[in-house]
Structure 1
Amino acid sequence: MLGLLINEMEAKEMEYLLKRELEELLLDLDDHRIDHLVKRAMKERYRTLFNLLRRVATHEECLKYLPKRTENK
């Protein structure tokens, strides 16, 4: 287990960066031109970034970025 000690301003900056990256990934995941293998890697990255966001953002903010469930999981 690793720890990270950051102040309030750094936490807000991390939250901002994570949100922007998650939004970009959501847009790219909806693009039908992107290959399935690439999308699978993007979904894995999304999960990792979302888990980081959960550590610095409020519950309400995290709800906006919850991964959508797919029927063919």
Structure 2
Amino acid sequence: MLGLMINEIEKKEMEYIVKRELDEILFDLQDERIDHIVKRAMEERYKILFNLFKRVAPSMECMKYMRTKQTFKEQKQ
């Protein structure tokens, strides 16, 4: 296990950066033109970033970026 000491300003900056990246991924996952193999890689990246986001963001902020199971089913069809 690794630890990281950051101050409040750095925490807010990390939260902001990860939030923007999650927004981009969620937007791109809805694009019909993107191949499903690429979307699968994007979903893996989303999971990693969301786990990082959960560590620095308040729970109400995390709720905005949670994906539902139905969203995953729609992506597979």
TM-score bracket for this pair, using the shorter chain length: over 0.9
Which whole-Å deviations, capped at 9, do the CAs of 1:2-44 have from their partners, x for residues lacking one? 1111000000000000000000000100001001100000000
Structure 2 distance, partners of 1:58, 1:9, is 15
Structure 1 distance, partners of 2:24, 2:48, is 14
Structure 2 distance, partners of 1:45, 1:68, is 16
Where do 5+ consecutive residues of structure 2 fail to align? none
Structure 2 distance, partners of 1:68, 1:46, is 13
Structure 1 distance, partners of 2:41, 2:33, is 15
Number of residue pairs matched by the alignment:
72
Runs of 4+ with deviation above 4 angstroms: none
2:48 aligned with 1:48: yes
Aligned-residue CA RMSD (Å): 1.0
Normalised to the residue count of structure 2, the TM-score between the two structures is 0.89
Normalised to the residue count of structure 1, the TM-score between the two structures is 0.94
Structure 2 distance, partners of 1:4, 1:31, is 36
